[in-house]
Amino acid sequence: MCLTRGLKPPQNPTTIDLAKYETFNAILVLSRRGLLRDEEVSRVVSYAERILSKIKVLSTDIREMREIYETARQHGLTVYDAAYLYTAKKLGGVLITEDRELLSKSKQLGVESRTIS
């Protein structure tokens, strides 16, 4: 987990509602692959709930979807990644990602970005 690696939590952390689904899907995938034992799942889910409860979660307005779509189309991104990029740019924030392609594209588009490691 990022906090056990010494990452200091950002001021006013913000994400989009998609992050909730991605977080819990990752837990499910780890469980299905046998990388999380049944007795660990509850603890990890509780940890995810605590972390996500401390983060402001934004919902993307349908009127913003065209710009997100165009960003994805023009820069070879998924709509999901473009949504994170769009939100970071809109808020003037730092995009934190482990996705190397998204990291590269964000820098090309003038959005400050970094990894957690």
- Per residue in 16-68, pLDDT (tens digit) is 999 999 999 999 999 999 999 988 999 999 999 998 998 899 998 899 999 99
Residues 48 and 3: beta-carbon distance below 8 Å: no
Where is pLDDT greater, at 116 or 81? 81
- Name the amino acid, one letter, at 14: T
User: Which pLDDT value is given to residue 62?
Assistant: 92
pLDDT one-digit tens code per residue, 72-86: 999 999 999 999 999
Structure tokens at 64: 């913003």
CA geometry: angle 51, 45, 20, nearest 5 deg: 60
| Stated pTM of the model | 0.80
Out of 3.40.50.11540, 1.20.1560.10, 1.10.8.100, 3.40.50.1010, the CATH code matching 12-59 is: 3.40.50.1010
Residue limits of CATH 3.40.50.1010 in the chain: 12-59, 60-117
- Residue 46's nearest CA partner among 10, 1, 14 is 1
**How large is the average pLDDT for residues 3-11?**
54
The yes or no reply on domain 60-117 and CATH 3.40.50.1010 is yes
